[in-house]
């Protein structure tokens, strides 16, 4: 007989599997966010100086990559909340998204 607070039957095994899946999803989203940020940083390293004829193309690409990184950051936060992690200040410290470029 189960005591108070003790999972009944296979409930514990199911809970463990759910937590593993949530952690796996969090890792995947974090990987996408890291890749987006790395792509942004790589593009910034090649950014032509202001006034260069190629700069508008680079700025537009930077804008698109930055929007992608922000979307992945949002997915990351949603996944953290699904795991019960409600304070996200550390996310900005761990995954800083570069500022927009003009």
8 Å CB contact between 55 and 49? yes
Assigned token pair, 47: 């950014």
Query: Domain ranges in the chain?
Result: 26-94
Other C-beta atoms lying within 10 Å of the C-beta of residue 31: 12
pLDDT along the chain (102 residues), means of 10: 60 87 92 97 95 96 97 95 90 94 87
Quick one: pLDDT at residue 83?
87
Assigned token pair, 24: 């796996």
8 Å CB contact between 76 and 95? yes
Quick one: pLDDT at residue 5?
61
Give how far the C-alpha of residue 30 lies from the chain's centroid of Cα atoms, to the nearest Å: 4
Angle CA(84)–CA(24)–CA(33) in degrees, nearest 5?
Answer: 85
pTM of the complete model = 0.81
């Amino acid at each position: 007989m189960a005591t108070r607070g003790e999972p009944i039957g296979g409930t514990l095994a199911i809970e463990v599997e759910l937590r593993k899946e949530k952690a796996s999803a969090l890792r995947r989203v974090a990987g996408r966010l890291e890749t987006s940020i790395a792509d942004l940083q790589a593009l910034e390293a090649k950014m032509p100086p202001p006034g260069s004829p190629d700069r508008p193309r680079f700025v537009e690409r930077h804008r698109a990559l930055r929007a992608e990184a922000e979307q992945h950051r949002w997915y990351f936060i949603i996944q953290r909340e699904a795991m019960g992690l409600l304070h996200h200040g550390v996310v900005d410290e761990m995954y800083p998204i570069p500022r927009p470029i003009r």
